[in-house]
Amino acid sequence: MKDKKAFEILYTKYVEGSLSAEELLEWVEVFQHPENEQYLAELIGRTFDTYKVPEDPEAAKQAFHRFERLIDTEDTSSDTASLPLNKSVFHIFRQWKYVAAALLLSIASYGIYQYTLRTTPQNHIANLSKQDVAPGGNKAILKMEDGSEIKLGPQGELIVKGDRLEDGAGNMLLKGQLRETWQSIEVPKGGQYTIVLSDGTKVWLNADSKMKFPVEFVAQQRQVQLQGEAYFEVTKDASRPFIVKSAQQQIEVLGTWFNISAYPEEPAVTTLVSGKVNVSAFGKQVSLTPGMQSVADDQQLHSKQVDVEPAVAWKDAKFVFVKEPLEDIIRKLERWYNVDFVIQSGSEELKKKTFSGSLSRNCQLSEILNLFKITETIRFEIKGRRVYLMK
């Protein structure tokens, strides 16, 4: 690093939410270099060690809003036309802003947490912890053609090998005349699981999802049926296309990486990371190239260029939100934490509030809800598996 002092000044301004647009561009360009990672980690650690807790959470809220407005200038062409952002820097900026938002949220939430410890009676804090909800984990059920079921263990992986099914530890789950049979893996709310199909294709299944698959692909095409959300890394086979069918659409690929969200009563969304896919729905067809997303809904099929990170982050144990309405975020939290949200009467406008940030899927539910409290006036109460939201 050429100038640690300059780097530290930019970092301090970032934490305070006082970076100008030009300084933000400089910060992004410095931030992208791997040699700066260690020093950045030191600065973050120093921030947590010396963070001055505000007298109330309002300072943290204001800092976040200042930063969010700065992010908005990047997303609004009329405000960014004068910035000399080339394509590569623009891409880095888009990726970096999620990290930045997460960092600021962490620092701000630390202040809120310390403030809460100072001002909340200890018996009330203990009460709150009892009402918290743990994140989901590796759980699924394997359903056979004959109706029998096998509860899959916490290893988190099901592997199809010839005429046998194994778990991630190599333990045999099922063996026999299975080659031409179809099985089904069902992941409940609060669960996730990975399956390696007979051709080597790897599939990550998100919470509240199910996939039907053949033990061996014996036809001229490889086909599975999906309800819910899954991320696919398809093994290339030019002679046999890989087809994913869901209620509203059909995806055809040869070898590629992509995410499909196809929950009942929601639009079917396909996001392509690499390769090429053809999406068919309602008598229409679109071809996607990397960085594109298709949406099938209301008898319409359309595609657009997107940042793929928010769509695929769940696979890497993250929630990434970019100006996402609270009602959409709630659906994701309900599935992963296996809870039901209730927005109390008179607080319905909360549904339309939008949030941006990158959060871990491995934290307690209250930690995520507390982060929302930082940026908006939202109160919550957890009672068992029900979460009440109010202004």
Q: How many CB atoms lie within 10 A of CB 41?
A: 10
Predicted confidence (pLDDT) at residue 361 exceeds the cutoff of 60 = yes
| Cβ–Cβ under 8 Å, residues 193 and 184 | no
Comparing CA positions, the residue from 273, 264, 317 lying closest to residue 156 is 317
Q: What pLDDT is recorded for position 86?
A: 36
286: left (phi over 0), alpha (psi -120 to 50) or beta: beta
69 CB contacts (<8 Å, ≥6 apart)?
Answer: none
Q: What is the pLDDT of residues 306-343, one digit of tens each?
A: 999 999 999 999 998 888 999 999 999 999 999 999 99
In angstroms, what CA-CA distances link 290 with 131, 271, 362?
43, 8, 28
The bridge status of strand 257-262 relative to strand 250-253 is unpaired
In angstroms, what CA-CA distances link 170 with 160, 179, 206, 223, 361?
11, 19, 23, 25, 27
The token duo for 272 is: 């392509």
Predicted confidence (pLDDT) at residue 238 exceeds the cutoff of 60 = yes
Predicted confidence (pLDDT) at residue 25 exceeds the cutoff of 60 = yes
Report helix, strand or coil for 229: strand
Q: What pLDDT is recorded for position 103?
A: 54
Predicted confidence (pLDDT) at residue 156 exceeds the cutoff of 70 = yes
Amino acid type, 73: T
Predicted confidence (pLDDT) at residue 165 exceeds the cutoff of 70 = yes
Q: What pLDDT is recorded for position 91?
A: 38
User: What is the rounded distance in angstroms from the CA atom of residue 250 to the CA atom of residue 272?
Assistant: 14
201: left (phi over 0), alpha (psi -120 to 50) or beta: beta
Does the CA dihedral 258-302-356-378 come out positive or negative?
negative
- Mean pLDDT, to the nearest integer, of 300-305? 96
281 CB contacts (<8 Å, ≥6 apart)?
Answer: 248, 249, 250, 268, 296, 301
- Mean pLDDT, to the nearest integer, of 209-223? 92
Q: What pLDDT is recorded for position 333?
A: 97
Amino acid type, 251: I
- Mean pLDDT, to the nearest integer, of 271-298? 96
Choice between 52 and 137, residue whose per-residue pLDDT is larger? 137
Amino acid type, 243: I
Comparing CA positions, the residue from 314, 316, 294 lying closest to residue 303 is 294
Report helix, strand or coil for 246: coil
Location of structure tokens 């939008």: 354
Q: Which residues pair with 302 in a beta bridge?
A: 295
Comparing CA positions, the residue from 181, 170, 122, 172 lying closest to residue 150 is 172
Question: E strand or H helix at 368, and its extent?
Answer: helix 365-375
| Cβ–Cβ under 8 Å, residues 112 and 374 | yes
Choice between 169 and 377, residue whose per-residue pLDDT is larger? 169
Q: What is the pLDDT of residues 115-133, one digit of tens each?
A: 444 444 444 433 344 579 9
pTM, whole model, 2 decimals?
0.72
Location of structure tokens 């394509």: 87
| Cβ–Cβ under 8 Å, residues 99 and 358 | yes
Q: In sequence order, what E strands does 50-156 have? A: 137-138, 140-143, 149-152
Choice between 299 and 97, residue whose per-residue pLDDT is larger? 299
363 CB contacts (<8 Å, ≥6 apart)?
Answer: 135
Report DSSP letters for 170-197, one per residue.
S-EEEESS-TT-EEEEEE-TTEEEEEE-
Residue extents of the structural domains in the chain: 4-119, 137-311, 317-390
Q: How far is CA 68 from the centre of its chain?
A: 19
Out of 3.55.50.30, 3.90.1150.10, 3.10.20.30, 1.10.1040.10, select the CATH number for domain 317-390. 3.55.50.30
The token duo for 169 is: 């530890």
Per-residue pLDDT band at 16 (split at 50, 70, 90): low
| Per-residue b or e along 309-338, where b marks 16 or more CB atoms closer than 10 Å to that residue's CB | bbbbbbbeebbbbbebebeebbebbbbbbb
User: What is the rounded distance in angstroms from the CA atom of residue 237 to the CA atom of residue 45?
Assistant: 48
Choice between 211 and 85, residue whose per-residue pLDDT is larger? 211
Please, what is the average pLDDT of the chain?
79
Out of 1.20.20.10, 2.30.30.100, 3.20.20.80, 2.60.120.1440, select the CATH number for domain 137-311. 2.60.120.1440
